[in-house]
Amino acid sequence: MPTDGGSERILQLEAEVRQLKDAVVSHAVVDQAIGVIVALGRVSPDQGWTVLKEVSQHTNIKARNIADMILVWGRSGVMPPEIRAALEDALDRLGPTQVPGAPPAP
């Protein structure tokens, strides 16, 4: 049974709406994580975005997933050690910073 053009268009629009909703949620998570980085590292929002991108690139993990980990860390204090190290390294490139809860620097 062939589908009419209207039904096909509705399915396309529904898929597009789902993608846009996902993008909005993802953007909000990334923005919140940048806010944490800004407060933590005393950096500008642009620098916070740069730090998030650097951590993503150095760990080969999508920025959205790094952002999720940063937000979980903000609530629970738990962050994978390799992410914490990459975050500290990225912030150190902007100026010395100690991530709370990290072992003291040698």
Q: Is 28 within the bounds of a domain?
A: yes
Q: Is 35 within the bounds of a domain?
A: yes
| Number of domains making up the chain | 1
Q: Is 101 within the bounds of a domain?
A: no
Domain that residue 51 falls in: 17-94
List Cα–Cα distances, 68 to 16, 43, 61, 83, 94, in angstroms: 24, 20, 11, 11, 22
Q: Is 12 within the bounds of a domain?
A: no
Q: Is 102 within the bounds of a domain?
A: no
Q: Is 59 within the bounds of a domain?
A: yes
Q: Give the HSE-up count for residue 71: Cα atoms under 13 Å, Cβ half-sphere.
A: 15
Q: Is 47 within the bounds of a domain?
A: yes
- The Cα 70–Cα 78 span in angstroms is 9
Question: Tens of pLDDT along the chain (106 residues)?
Answer: 445 678 898 988 888 888 888 877 778 999 999 999 999 888 999 999 999 999 999 999 999 999 999 999 989 999 999 999 999 999 998 876 555 566 655 5
Q: Is 11 within the bounds of a domain?
A: no
